[in-house]
Chains A and B, each alone.
Chain A
Amino acid sequence: MRTTTARTAGIFLVAGAMLLAAGACTKKSDQPASAAATATSAADLGGMDALIAAAKKEGSLNLMALPRDWAGYGALMDGFATKYGIKVTDDNPGAASADEVSAITSLKGQGRAPDAVDVGTSFAVSGAAQGIYAPYKVSTWSDIPDAQKAADGTWFGDYGGYMSIGCDAAKVTACPTTIADLAKPDYKGKVALTGDPLKSNSAMMAIWTAALATGGSLDNIQPGIDFFAKLKSEGNFVPVKATAATVQSGETPIIVDWDYLNAGKTKDLANSGVKWTVAVSTDATIGGFYAQAISKYAPHPAAARLWEEYLYSNEGQNGFLKGFARPTRMAAMQQAGTVDPALANLLPPAGTNAVYPTDPQANKAQNTLTQNWANTVK
Chain B
Amino acid sequence: MGLRTTRRPGLIWLGLLPFLGFVGLFFLLPTAVIAYTAFRVGTGSGSRFGGANIAAALHGAYRMGLQNSVGMSVVVAIVAAILGVILAYAITTSGGRSLQRLVSTSAAVLANFGGLPLAFLFVAVIGNAGVLTTLLRDRLGIGLHDDLHFDLYSQAGVQFVYLYFLVPLMVLVITPALEGLRPEWREAAENLGARGWHYWRYVAGPAVLPHFLGSVALLFCTAFSSFATADALTNGTLAITPLQIENAVSGNVLVGQQNLGAALALNMIIVVVPLTLLYQYMQNRTSRWLR
Contacts and interface: CB of A to CB of B under 8 A. Distances in A.
Contact of B64 (A200, A249, A374): A374
A77 interface: no
A197 interface: yes
Interface residues of A, number: 35
Given A371-B61, A374-B65, A375-B61, A241 B253 contact: no
Nearest to A245: B120
Contacts of B129: 189, 249-251
B73 to A, nearest CB: 17
B145 interface: yes
Interface in B194-248: 231-239, 243-244, 246-247
B128 interface: yes
Chain A contact residues, majority secondary structure: mixed
A197 B235 contact: yes
Nearest to B146: A235
Contacts of B247: 196, 198-199, 370
A241 B61 CA distance: 21
Interface string B115-137: 01001100110011110000000
B254 to A, nearest CB: 6
Contacts of A189: 128-129, 145
A240 B235 contact: yes
Nearest to A193: B235
Given A239-B234, A246-B120, A199 B65 contact: no
B153 A239 contact: yes
Nearest to A242: B235
A175 B79 CA distance: 43
A195 interface: yes
Interface in A197-221: 197-201, 203-204
Nearest to A192: B235
Contact of B238 (A195, A201, A374): A374
Nearest to B231: A196
Given A198-B254, A235-B145, A241-B116, A373 B236 contact: yes
Given A200-B253, A249-B127, A239 B233 contact: yes
A241 B237 contact: no
Contacts of B232: 240-241
Please provide the 5 A-B residue pairs with the shortest distance between their CB atoms, ordered closest to farther: A196-B236, A374-B239, A250-B129, A199-B251, A189-B128
Given A240-B119, A240-B123, 12 more contacts: A193-B235, A198-B254, A199-B252, A200-B252, A238-B127, A240-B127, A240-B235, A241-B235, A251-B129, A251-B130, A370-B61, A374-B239
Interface of A: 189-190, 193, 195-201, 203-204, 232, 235, 238-241, 243, 245-246, 249-251, 363, 366, 369-375, 377-378
